[in-house]
Chains A and B, each alone.
Chain A
């Protein structure tokens, strides 16, 4: 199965029904995208497909073949971090960090759709779960990245 991930086309040895999450993690070794619940409830597995935030644990690879997949590994580079990653560091968001890849991918999709999100926009878009309770800083970092004062 051919997949386009972070701008590169890769061959993944995956059956069509395999969720994208496991193709990324266990077939391609891209472990930045996390498993949390397997039922699209927690958002730890969020990636972007053609720009949209998608929960990869319930998305079969057959549904994303030929589409543009972006994972946390493709959000920025060490030399040129995404403005959300810079904001995440400035606001010191992560604690355990396990949910943060999904948070960032959901936030990236939000900012593209709404460059200046309101609190209500953030409430609606960020439905990812964080067990450590970093939400307050997630909100502040999104606003910082959007250029608003947190």
Chain B
């Protein structure tokens, strides 16, 4: 690992790496059996697969379960290739070797226009770049669960690992029984021969460890028995009887509990602190001051006998807070500055085709609109927390995280120990949505545990701390300008947007110093190595694809297009929020497409279809949603439909929303989703994710906003930041476009189209266009 890092850091890096690549890229990720801890009687066949004495398959699990069903989906891939029932797969947390890094997470973030990807047949720019980035990502091996990339990443490697293990097991049986491999078959984990010989995986495992797998072939699609069929999730039983262990449910003998109180003003810090009254309260141990770890805000924690004791005491600490040295933040002022940035700054051109200036000058019909999206909080239902124990130069962490390696690195830095001295257990996550890609809470827990050596401390945030010290979805402003000819054909589309860069802020607060240098080097050399790629996300303040995604990569065949983004730096902590830039940018672009359709006086579905002549995948998704929704058919009075279509994380989703106004309140009755996410592993989970994405996005579309005044976030708990309730939930129906492409994302792509679909339906109802989120309908409707 260290040698590789050095090699990379030695700049010209990406180029040097390309030389000397021999093995198949996926095979390089199989790893040796010693990467898995062998329990009593267990035999590891590679870095992913172990056989237990009861014949169960144990799968190394590098991804975090936060509700998206990843533990089940990856287990299905292993079960399929090993020919065992899904219930025979157990999962075990993977170690920290680079083979477990999420390669697809980096590849999916390459800033390509989807039509360029669709068009490319041979080994062109897109494939070359993906290949190089994939290779570098394999070397670095960052293990993260994000970017809806887990299945896409596991798709080649977990199947290959399982198929390789199967081949060794069958090969071992062949040698033991002196029977040809071709005559052996496997059913439900039992190898058998027509002669009557048979034996389970457990029997063959120890021979298999010494048997080369030979020529490994993945199953043909037609032979699948699990992939593509609904299967019950492995994590559900523990989630209906209370036994599932989330971060807050970790219990360690003799543990204490710590409550956090951070400066209410973002970027501020505690000044004079008087804890005497708090420390005199029963069940209270001590106060620990907390610097601004991992880009968070400074404050303190109080350790007590229970969370309740600790929280009461934390509230009782008398503290004079000091504001942010650079001045108090204010979201109103930031909104004005973003608008000004769009008007006065050029920004970075993410996409350009034709000549928008020239066409804009002569086009007979013009449409211009400004759009706005507010800051948003993640509001995972399980607030931020981490349990830590520090003793004798070692750190043990129990943490609900999407980025275990980064938490481990943060812990090592805070405790002043080596990475190898940190043991980290990933628990279940009570929601993630991108918030748990951060490391602030883990660093805080380690700092607190250092003051009570040998004692485990569970540090947790109250709902109020969680709401007021998030890494928010950034505020964004966009101006969209379209032109049409006299017949209503769209000639040009020009989008100028402004908002905080997301990726560089994240990289700079979570990456350990060495890795930051490596990635900075890569980011600088990328344009030289990857032709045309000047916006590879990284720690440096270069053009950030994540802020502009969903605006520069529209599938519509509009001859003249230009998309510029001004990356700002407001000072409000911003981060990845489920579907990231797509979440607000789709609201801008898909609302505006309806505005253009209105100007052309063409039905919104038909209008899109015409612009998608060269994008058949998109059109098929749109058509399926329209058909399932009965687009064009009559609706009861007071109801209207709206449509939106958006690609993100490799998957295309169209949604049709049926919307009514109920005493001035927006009421969504039904949402029809169509998705093309490539090959589907578990359609049941796809449907769940579409349903969840609709509710998540509708909460944001109708209620979501974070306001910062005098430096402090105003929304503190669910009463002032309402989530959608069961009563308000629409009926959600999901249809899947059959596909044999590799799997795309599923957790996030259902979010972006929802807000514009609802906004477009609202327009049908009121003939007033709402261009701000959350959607507040015009009052005279």
Contacts and interface: CB of A to CB of B under 8 A. Distances in A.
Mutual binders A and B: yes
A27 B306 contact: yes
Nearest to B379: A131
A112 interface: no
A134 B642 CA distance: 23
A96 B726 contact: no
Interface residues of B, number: 62
Nearest to A31: B249
Interface in B691-731: 691-696, 717-719, 723-727, 729, 731
B725 A132 contact: no
Given A131-B696, A133-B696, A31 B242 contact: yes
B232 interface: yes
B431 A96 contact: yes
A18 B464 CA distance: 19
B472 interface: no
Contacts of B235: 94, 97
B260 to A, nearest CB: 14
Nearest to A119: B727
A76 B693 CA distance: 31
Interface string A20-39: 00100111011111111111
Most buried by A among B69, B242, B696: B242
Given A131-B381, A131-B696, A132-B67, A97 B241 contact: no
Given A22-B307, A73-B242, A96 B430 contact: yes
A92 interface: yes
A18 B308 contact: yes
A73 B241 CA distance: 6
B631 interface: no
A35 B16 CA distance: 51
Interface in B62-106: 65-69
Contacts of B725: 127, 129, 135
Contact of A75 (B67, B241, B724): B241
A122 B729 CA distance: 12
Interface string A108-142: 00000000000000111011111111111111000
Contacts of A3: none
A135 B717 contact: no
B427 to A, nearest CB: 11
A146 B700 CA distance: 33
Nearest to A21: B308
Contacts of B691: 133-134, 136-137
A139 B726 CA distance: 8
B695 A97 contact: no
A135 B238 CA distance: 19
A13 B691 CA distance: 43
B242 A33 contact: yes
Given A31-B251, A123-B727, A133-B692, A95 B282 contact: no
A65 interface: no
B282 A133 contact: no
Interface string B665-702: 00000000000000000001000100111111000000
A88 B251 contact: no
A133 B307 contact: no
Max chain B C-beta neighbours (<10 A), residue from A15, A22, A133, A138: A133
B16 to A, nearest CB: 42
A1 B759 CA distance: 55
Nearest to A89: B236
Contacts of B727: 123-124, 127
Contact of B430 (A71, A93, A98): A98
A35 B239 contact: no
Q: How large is the interface on A (under 10, 10 to 19, 20 to 34, 35 or more residues)?
A: 35 or more
B431 A15 contact: no
A32 to B, nearest CB: 2
A26 B718 contact: no
Contacts of B731: 136
B216 interface: no
Contacts of B684: 92
Interface in A25-69: 25-27, 29-39, 41-42, 44
Given A29-B251, A31-B248, A99-B381, A138 B726 contact: yes
Contacts of A131: 379-381, 431, 433, 696, 723
A32 B241 contact: yes
Contacts of A44: 381
Contacts of B65: 96
B240 A89 contact: yes
A26 B306 contact: yes
Contact of A123 (B238, B460, B719, B726): B726
Contacts of B723: 129-131
B696 A132 contact: yes
B306 A133 contact: no
B246 to A, nearest CB: 6
B719 A41 contact: yes
A26 B257 contact: yes
A128 B253 CA distance: 32
Contacts of A27: 306
B718 A42 contact: yes
Contact of A136 (B305, B430, B729): B729
A92 B431 contact: no
A85 B240 contact: yes
Given A18-B306, A22-B308, A100 B67 contact: no
Contacts of B695: 130, 132-133, 135
Contacts of A72: 241-242
Nearest to B696: A133
Interface in B724-770: 724-727, 729, 731-732
20 contacts: A15-B282, A34-B246, A35-B307, A36-B463, A37-B717, A41-B719, A42-B718, A44-B381, A92-B233, A93-B236, A94-B233, A95-B688, A98-B430, A98-B431, A122-B726, A123-B727, A129-B718, A131-B696, A135-B725, A137-B688
Given A41-B719, A85-B240, 19 more contacts: A15-B282, A18-B306, A22-B306, A34-B246, A34-B381, A35-B460, A37-B463, A39-B719, A94-B240, A96-B429, A98-B430, A100-B240, A132-B695, A133-B695, A133-B724, A134-B688, A136-B691, A137-B688, A138-B726
9 smallest A-B Cβ distances: which pairs?
A32-B242, A133-B695, A97-B239, A96-B67, A98-B430, A95-B67, A72-B242, A26-B306, A31-B249
